[in-house]
Amino acid sequence: MSALDGKIIAITGASSGIGAALAERIARDGAIPVLIARRRDALDAVAKNCGPTAQVIVADVTVREQVRRAVAEAHTKHGRIDVWINNAGQGISRNPTELTEADIDDMVRINLKSVLYGMQETLPVFRRQGSGHLINISSMLGRMPFALIRSAYTATKHAVNALTEMFRRELAESDPGIQVSLVSPGVVRTDFGKNAMHGGPDSRSLPNSQSVEEVAEVIANVIVTRRPDVYTAPGSKARVAAYYADIGEDP
C-alpha cells in the first residue's frame, strides 16, 4: 500500500500545469485529490484522468470567502483534509521601474493573499484533527531576484517564503502535528510564461527547464516525507548559496 493511499489532498490551481500533473500523480498512488480552480471544464478534464474519487470545486482562491467554501465542501464530503497545497499563481512581465499600483495589487492578491487564505482557512480543520500538512508552491525567483521582467512576481514569492517560515515556526509551538512545507521549482514547461500579465516568453523555450511530471514527483515526495523546504531541480540549493555569497559586505 502506498503512503498516499486514501489521503485527502486539496490542490489549488489544479486545472493545468503543476497542479494538474500533481493531481494525476497522487491519484495513481491511491490519494483522493480535491481539485480547486476557476475553470470547471478544465477541472473536469483533470478529474477524468484522476479517476472517480476526485472532487471538483470551482472557486477563485483570491477571494477568502470562496476559499472558506472550498475548505468546507472538501471537509463535508470526506470528513477530513490531510494536505492542502497552495499552488495557484500567476506571473507578470514588467520591469521594476515600469510597475504600476495595479500590477502590485494583482500580484499580491493572486500570489500572496491566496496562500494566506489557504493556510488560515484550512487551519481550523487541521487543529480539530490534530494533524495536517500545508504545502506552499513558491519559485526559485522567491530565492534569487534575477529576472527583471518578473520583478513583482518575485517580490510576492519572497513574501510567500517568509510567511511560510513564520507560519511553520508558530505552529511548531502551538500545533506540532501540523507541518508547513515550501517547494521551490525553477523553470517548468507550462503555460506560465504565456499566461503572464502583459505577455511574456513561453516557459517551454527557456533553458534548464523541468517537466510538470518531474515537479509533481518532488511534491508527492514532500507529502510523504513532510520535509519543510525543498527545491525541485538538482543543484538549486548550491545556486542559491552562491548567489548570496556574492551579496553584501560586513561593516
At the fourth CATH level, which superfamily is domain 8-245? Answer: NAD(P)-binding Rossmann-like Domain (3.40.50.720)
Residue 248: what pLDDT?
Answer: 86
Residue 5: what pLDDT?
Answer: 97
Residue 202: what pLDDT?
Answer: 84
For the residues 154-160, what does the mean pLDDT come to?
98
Q: What mean pLDDT value characterizes the chain?
A: 96
Take residue 182 and report the three cell numbers written for it: 515550501
CA-CA distance, 193 to 199, in Å (whole number)?
7
Instruction: List, as one string, the DSSP characters of 137-189.
Output: E--GGGT----TTBHHHHHHHHHHHHHHHHHHHHHHHH-TTEEEEEEE--SBS
For the residues 67-86, what does the mean pLDDT come to?
98
Please choose, from the candidates 107, 76, 79, 104, the residue with its C-alpha nearest in 3D space to the C-alpha of residue 91.
Answer: 107
Residue 124: what pLDDT?
Answer: 98
Take residue 45 and report the three cell numbers written for it: 478534464
CA-CA distance, 87 to 118, in Å (whole number)?
10
Long-range contacts of 123-126 (CB under 8 A, 24+ apart): 123/178, 125/71, 125/75, 125/80, 125/81, 126/81, 126/175, 126/177, 126/178
- Taking residue 170's Cβ as centre, other Cβ atoms within 10 Å add up to 12
Residue 247: what pLDDT?
Answer: 86
| pLDDT tens digits for range 197-244 | 998 888 888 888 999 999 999 999 999 999 999 999 999 999 999 999
| pLDDT tens digits for range 102-136 | 999 999 999 999 999 999 999 999 999 999 999 99
What is the strand order of the sheet 32-37 is part of?
Answer: 55-58, 32-37, 8-12, 83-86, 132-137, 178-184, 229-231
Domain borders along the chain are 8-245
Angle at the Cα of 214 from the Cα atoms of 152 and 122, rounded to 5 degrees: 60
CA-CA distance, 34 to 57, in Å (whole number)?
7
Mean pLDDT lowest among 32-36, 68-72, 192-196? 192-196
Q: Which residues are catalytic?
A: 153
Q: Examine the pLDDT at 249 and tell me if it is beyond 90.
A: no
Residue 71: what pLDDT?
Answer: 98
Q: How confident is the model at residue 42 (pLDDT cuts 50, 70, 90)?
A: very high
CA-CA distance, 140 to 204, in Å (whole number)?
16
Residue with cell 521594476: 96
